[in-house]
Every structure is written in C-alpha cells, then in structure tokens.
Amino acid sequence: MKKKQQKKRLLQAIKIAIGSSAAIYVAEVLNLEYAISAGSIALLTLVTTKWETVKLSWFRLVTFLVSSVLAWVVFTQIQSEWLAYGIYIFLIVIVSEEFGWKATISVNAVIGMHFMAKRDFEASFVFNEFMLVLIGITVAVVLNLFYDYAGQRKDLVRNMRYTENRMQMILGAIAAYLADKEMQYDIWAAIRELESQIHVFIDDAYEYQDNTFQSHPEYYINYFEMRMKQCNTIHNLHYEMKRIRKMPQQALIISEYVLYMMEYVTERNEPTAQMDKLKEIFQHIKEDKLPTTREDFESQAMLYHILMDLEDFLIYKKRFVNSLDDKQKQRYWNQGK
C-alpha cells in the first residue's frame, strides 16, 4: 500500500511538472507577457481531481472578469502600490468567499499583480492576462483526462476482497474465543489496523468518483463506508465479549453461528438467510432457563448484546443491498467488474 501511495505521488508530481512547463512554453510561443504565470495557474489547477478541475476552470474564467473589473476600479484610483494591492485583495477575498470561489483567490492575486505593475487596462493587455488563465486551465484539464480508470477500479476491487478476507479472519478469531479456545490472534490490533486501512480505501473510492465520468461510481464509497460501520460493530462486539468472566454454554451456539456467518461476508451476498438464522438463536436463548447466579446472569446479558451487535452487522449489509438500484446491481453484481 505504501508503494502504491508513493507511485501515485510520483505520477502526480510528474503531471504537475509537465503541465506547468507546457503552459509556460505555450505562453512563450504566443509571446505573452508574464508567461511564467501560466505555469503557476496550471499547477494550481492540476492539484485537483478531474471534476474539480472542470469546475475550478469555469470559476477561474468567471472570476477573471470580476478581478479585471476590480483591478481597474482600484488601481486607476489609488497610486500607492501597497495600499491599492491590499484593497484589491480584500475585495477579491470578500467576493470569492461570498460566492464559494475561494480556490480562485491565488490566481486572481497573481493577475492583480500584473495589472498593478503595468497599470494597463487596454484590451490587448486584458487579453494577454485572459490567455494566461486560459492556457493554464486548458493544460490542466487536458492532463487530468489521463487517468488510469481500469487500474484504479482493479485496486478498489482488490481492496474489497482484502477487506472481506480480513473481516472473515477477525470473525473466525471471535468465534474461537466464544468457543473458549486459546487465542493466538490479537483481535484488537487486527480491528484497528483494518479500520485504518478502510479509511484509506474510502479516500481512494472518493478519488475514483471525482476522476471518472462513468455512472454510479459512488458504489465503491458506499461499500467501504458500510464495511467501516461493520468494523465498528465488530469493535463493540469484541469489547463486550472480553467482559464475559465465565463463558456460558450458549456461547458455543453463537460461536458456531459466527463461523457460519463469516462465510457470507462477501460483496454480493444478501443477508436475509443469515438474519433469519440469527432470529432463531435469539428465540432459543429466550427459551433457555434463566441463570441462577449473578455471574451467569451478567455473562448471558453480554451474550445477548453480542447477538444484537451481530444483528447490526447484518443490518448494515442489508441497508447497503437495499440502496442499490437495478442499474447498479446489473453493473456491479450481474456483470461483474
């Protein structure tokens, strides 16, 4: 995983370097003044995802007109550079914050410097500044079209299988503990590690969504968020399990159920059968004789809480399945990946 992140950072650095250089080169070929600023604009636009790049590019074009008007108003009236620029930045920030254009402030600040230095508001110089912005955002949009969709999706699917496998291992260890077997596995550490990894997988899923024009990319986000909720439930279950001082006889029934259930911790399982079987166990425990000692009573109460956690675990998957429409099931379940 660390190597993958390093590779991603390296490719991003290469993309930014190429984009910035290309923007400067094009601006120089067109004999534009302040050509180096085109590189800065490309850099500031390239650090976003594809959808953000498209949206930010549109905002940059709109706010260029606003910044040009504000520059003309301020710089033609105030001769002091430090005062004029301060007022200009103040107005730019106010307008940008008001309309949600905060990400455009840096570029408009650069454009403002050019106008202040030249004090030239002829059409030719305004066009020069517009071309710097246009070149920078065009290069950014073009380079952000180069995205490894297939590779990223394969990584997401691989992460899904990894998550399912780790959950099955953790549930297997929990089943062993409930069966009063000696533990050779640090469940706490495994749960914390999996939670940390799922956080990364969720970020990857959001990145994929923000860089694709394909339909239903939120499927992967919803999947990993569902697994995160299940992971939190396992965390609670393990905490309650460790509080049991003496393992009741019914714990073996729950252990066998967990071993049965863990085989269905898969992407395409609809957990109705597992929920029905869990209801039978609830009913079985209700019909058992009441505990005779306080210790047995507390232990059985903990078992009941564990069953409720297992029910929550299945409910999260049930909700995920119910949230899928026919097109998503056709795309991700019937046709595969």
pLDDT-derived band at 152 (thresholds 50, 70, 90) equals confident
CA distance 201 to 333: 20
Question: Which of the listed residues 144, 173, 190 is the one where a domain comes to its end?
Answer: 144
Domain that holds residue 259: 149-334
Q: Are residues 127 and 220 in the same domain?
A: no
In a shared domain, residues 157 and 274: yes
Check residue 291 and report its DSSP letter: P
**pLDDT at residue 146 in the model:** 78
Please give the pLDDT value at position 34. 95
Q: Is residue 116 located within the same domain as residue 248?
A: no
Cβ-in-10-Å burial (0-12, 13-18, 19+) of 29 comes to exposed
Mark whether 104 and 161 lie in a shared domain: no
Number of domains in the chain: 2
- Predicted confidence at residue 213, as pLDDT, reads 65
Query: Which carries the bigger pLDDT value, residue 185 or residue 29?
Result: 29
Per cent of the chain over pLDDT 90 is: 62
Q: Is the pLDDT of residue 327 over 70?
A: yes
Domain boundary among 144, 172, 195: 144
Same domain membership, residue 71 and residue 39: yes
Q: Within 10 Å of residue 105's Cβ, how many Cβ atoms?
A: 17
Do 257 and 281 contact (CB within 8 A), yes or no?
yes
Give the mean pLDDT of 288-298: 65
Q: Based on the fold, state whether residues 120 and 196 are members of the same structural domain.
A: no
Closest to 177 (Cα-Cα) out of 240, 263, 228:
240
Answer whether 136's CB lies under 8 Å from 38's CB.
yes
pLDDT of residue 36 exceeding 90: yes
In a shared domain, residues 107 and 205: no
| Mean of pLDDT values over 162-186 | 91
pLDDT over 80 (residue 246): no
The residue type at 208: Y
279 and 195 both lie in a single domain? yes
Residue 40 and residue 122 in one domain: yes
* Per-residue pLDDT at 234: 96
Given a cut of 90, is residue 37 above it in pLDDT?
A: yes
The residue from 117, 144, 171 where one domain ends is 144
Quick one: 119 and 190 in the same domain?
Answer: no
Q: Which CATH number belongs to the domain containing residue 217 in this structure? A: 1.20.120.940
Residue 103, pLDDT score: 86
Residues 6+ apart with CB under 8 A from 275: 311, 314, 315, 318
Q: What is the mean pLDDT of the chain?
A: 89
Same-domain status, 214 and 299: yes
CB-count exposure of residue 267 (10 Å: 0-12, 13-18, 19+): middle
Q: Is there a single domain that holds both residue 98 and residue 173?
A: no
113 contact partners, CB below 8 Å, separation of at least 6 = 85
